[in-house]
Amino acid sequence: MTTRREFIQQAGILGAGMVFQPFMTSATGRAVGANDKIRVGLIGCNGMGFGDLTSFMQNPEVECVALADIDQSVLDKRGSEVEKKAGKAPKLYKDWRHLIDHKDIDVVIIGTPDHWHCLQLVAACESGKDVYCEKPLGNSIEECNIMVRAAQKYNRIVQVGQWQRSDPHWQDAVKFIRSGQLGKIRTVRVFSYQGWCPSVPVKADEAPPAGVDYDMWLGPAPKHPFNSNRFHFTFRWFWDYAGGLMTDWGVHLLDYALFGMDVTTPKSIMASGGKFGYPNDACETPDLLQTIYTFDGFTVLWDHAIGINDGAYQRNHGLGFVGENGTLVLNRYGWEVIPEKVGKDRMEAVELKKPYGGGGLNLHVKNHLDCIKSRNRNCNASIEIGAHIAKFSHLGNIAYRTGKQLSWDGKSFHDSKADKYLVKEYRNPWKLPKI
């Protein structure tokens, strides 16, 4: 989290440094033209990582040359799927560092759990490769700072997987919010109620599955016996690897709260919640949480629940920009305006505007490819944007974990209990990068 002044200054520097040319030298030292192949490698082939790769491969200029995953069964399956799609088998690696060393790769897609993003992104940038990194960008505030410095130092084109930044109906909603028609906005309700997401029952530790390099999966995270609850999708409910629903969905939705209101740094943060729905299950992160970010003249309220599907406005996720003339409600299925029933400045309802265009993720990938060709670092979800909202989400988690109302100056809480959460301690032999 930078201050608003620092954020604007960084954006200005970024914009001033843009050079728009049809042909530029790529990371691998070859000229990349508008019709040349852009060669990609994927680290972390399960779930969203492979979804990202699939969107990349829809573009004729993209060639997948390598995959890396610690799970041999996943690696073999995805390798076969890529070969079937592209007619050519990619190289397969159990150790992601071999993929980074691959000289022919232009772009690295990072689809690993959150606790791995920093090491892999920094290594990719140091090797001269551009990066598409899944959200949230980092698993701590300091990791986010390091990753921004790496991308800037090595002049890499980084897109963070907050694909709603490339989705037209989200962009049009922001234009309406900023038009002033809602009147003074007093609060932004941001909510994620995930009824599909069940409780995670406690399971006994066991041996890792055959073909899984579990020590490499842990990487910099603390040593812990293998437990299937901490593996694959449900890793996100454990503090060692992620930040729960706050960082999983929060980076998408809170990003648009800040973008719509054109703000960056809150005056204070406080949070309350806990494991109220499933107090005895295996998860560490809260299944219910409310966080209040206070700005000058309005608040942003984050509200999440697991195992409940009824959020606000008869939706299970979204944002409500609550103005004195009306409320704009926005989510992945469209946006509308609900007029306020009292007051003199009545406004007409805006009927639901459904999504349109080529799909947010596909447009997001296309934006990244265009920026790679022009060497324009100002992607729709640049690393600066991704780092900012990841840190903003971490602020909410830190307020919850400390039980305190906190103030933030962009670098420190000036509170010893809160400041200990700024940096993750890495397990040997892994070291937090120094940039």
Kindly tell me if the per-residue pLDDT of 30 is higher than 70. Answer: no
Confidence band of 13 (pLDDT split at 50, 70, 90)? very low
Query: What is the pLDDT at residue 272?
Result: 98
CA distance 23 to 285: 47
Confidence band of 18 (pLDDT split at 50, 70, 90)? very low
Q: What tokens appear for 112 in the block?
A: 């690993």
What 3-state DSSP class applies to 284?
coil
pLDDT, average across residues 372-381: 97
pLDDT, average across residues 404-417: 95
DSSP state, 406?
A: B
Kindly tell me if the per-residue pLDDT of 16 is higher than 90. Answer: no
Query: What is the pLDDT at residue 23?
Result: 32
Kindly tell me if the per-residue pLDDT of 8 is higher than 50. Answer: no
Positions of E strands within 195-325: 268-274, 288-295, 298-306, 317-323
Confidence band of 344 (pLDDT split at 50, 70, 90)? low
CA distance 238 to 263: 30
pLDDT, average across residues 343-362: 87
Query: Among 107, 118, 53, which residue's Cα sits nearest to residue 79?
Result: 53
Record the pTM: 0.92
pLDDT, average across residues 200-214: 97
Kindly tell me if the per-residue pLDDT of 21 is higher than 60. Answer: no
Query: What is the pLDDT at residue 2?
Result: 47
Kindly tell me if the per-residue pLDDT of 171 is higher than 80. Answer: yes
Q: pLDDT tens for residues 43-54?
A: 999 999 999 999
Query: What is the pLDDT at residue 33?
Result: 58
Kindly tell me if the per-residue pLDDT of 74 is higher than 80. Answer: yes
Query: What is the pLDDT at residue 32?
Result: 59
CB of 71 closer than 8 Å to CB of 46: yes
For the chain, the average pLDDT equals: 92
DSSP state, 78?
A: H
pLDDT, average across residues 201-214: 97
Query: What is the pLDDT at residue 358?
Result: 82
Query: What is the pLDDT at residue 233?
Result: 93
CA distance 284 to 99: 33
Amino acid identity of residue 312, one-letter, is A
pLDDT, average across residues 334-356: 88
- Which helix (H) or strand (E) segment holds residue 215: the answer is helix 214-218
DSSP letters, 291-321, are: EEEEETTEEEEEEEEES----STT-SEEEEE
Query: What is the pLDDT at residue 198?
Result: 81
pLDDT, average across residues 223-228: 97
Task: Indicate the range of 21-25, 141-145, 162-166, 245-249 predicted with least confidence.
Answer: 21-25
Confidence band of 290 (pLDDT split at 50, 70, 90)? very high
Confidence band of 348 (pLDDT split at 50, 70, 90)? confident
How many angstroms from the chain centroid is the CA of residue 281? 26
Confidence band of 357 (pLDDT split at 50, 70, 90)? confident
| Triad 414, 419, 422: Cα angle to 5° | 135
Confidence band of 197 (pLDDT split at 50, 70, 90)? confident
Cis peptide before 201 (omega within 30 of 0): no
Query: What is the pLDDT at residue 11?
Result: 41
Percentage of the chain beyond pLDDT 70 is 91
Query: What is the pLDDT at residue 341?
Result: 86
CA distance 151 to 148: 5
CA distance 53 to 111: 9
Kindly tell me if the per-residue pLDDT of 75 is higher than 60. Answer: yes
Confidence band of 346 (pLDDT split at 50, 70, 90)? confident
Task: Indicate the range of 3-17, 287-301, 382-396, 400-414 predicted with least confidence.
Answer: 3-17
Positions of E strands within 279-401: 288-295, 298-306, 317-323, 326-331, 334-339, 350-353
Kindly tell me if the per-residue pLDDT of 26 is higher than 70. Answer: no
More confident residue, 17 or 95: 95
Percentage of the chain beyond pLDDT 90 is 88
Kindly tell me if the per-residue pLDDT of 24 is higher than 50. Answer: no
Instruction: Name 179's Cβ contacts closer than 8 Å, sequence gap at least 6.
Output: none
Query: Among 111, 54, 41, which residue's Cα sits nearest to residue 81?
Result: 54
Instruction: Name 393's Cβ contacts closer than 8 Å, sequence gap at least 6.
Output: 136, 243, 246, 247, 250, 251, 254
